Amino acid sequence: MKSQIKRSIKFSVSIAVITFVLAAIFSIISSSLLDGVVWIVGLFIVLVIVLIGVAFDVLGIASTAANETPFHAMAAEKVKGAKEAVNIIRNADKFASFCNDVIGDISGIVSGTATAIVVIQIAGLFQHNTSTLQIVLSVVLTSIVAAITVGGKALGKYFAINASTKIIFFAGKVIYVLESKFKLKILPKN
């Protein structure tokens, strides 16, 4: 019991540190991309950030919904990505936590900040820049971004649950490439 608590605390602390680093990286990249671009490009960047959050939410849910049985035969036949898919499913709690909580939540926060930057860019186009205009733009754009995020995640959950095997196999192939070609350690080996 105490070893499980220790592992949980260690994992939570490591996730917090990873989140801090990734949030800083995401913020720097999005701010750099948004600096000096026209507002329509800024909206596209916000959409990309939202879609990243939705995609990782799908991956996290699929990992908890998938069954490892179909991957055992593929792994026995040395199908690339099958062993990684089994490993994802066996580590679904950590994989889902990273995908949903770390990347998903960072995407939500960064998309909100990026939306605020776009609001300022759009409001700057008008000569009579009023606080009322900024408030209206902020409410409208924030509501649109929230609707796309929540709607995308709701639709994504359906696909994550109903196509979990395909999604996790794809993720397994990606992890296989990252680990074998680029020598990155993504998942612990079981």
Q: What percent of the chain has pLDDT over 90?
A: 73
- What is the tens place of the pLDDT at every residue in 115-145? 999 998 888 888 776 788 889 999 999 999 9
Q: What is the mean pLDDT of residues 158-168?
A: 98
Using alpha carbons, list the distances in angstroms from residue 152 to 54, 63, 89, 163, 164: 6, 18, 23, 16, 17
Is 23:109 a contact under the CB 8 Å cutoff? Answer: yes
- What is the tens place of the pLDDT at every residue in 40-70? 999 999 999 999 999 999 999 999 999 999 9
At 183, list the tokens: 């020598």
Q: Tell me how far apart the terminal alpha carbons of the chain are, to the nearest angstrom.
A: 21
What are the respective helix, strand and coil percentages of the chain, to the nearest 5?
85, 0, 15
> Within its chain, how far is the Cα of 166 from the centroid?
18
**What is the pTM for the complete model shown?**
0.89
d(C-alpha 190, C-alpha 183), whole Å? 17
d(C-alpha 83, C-alpha 114), whole Å? 38
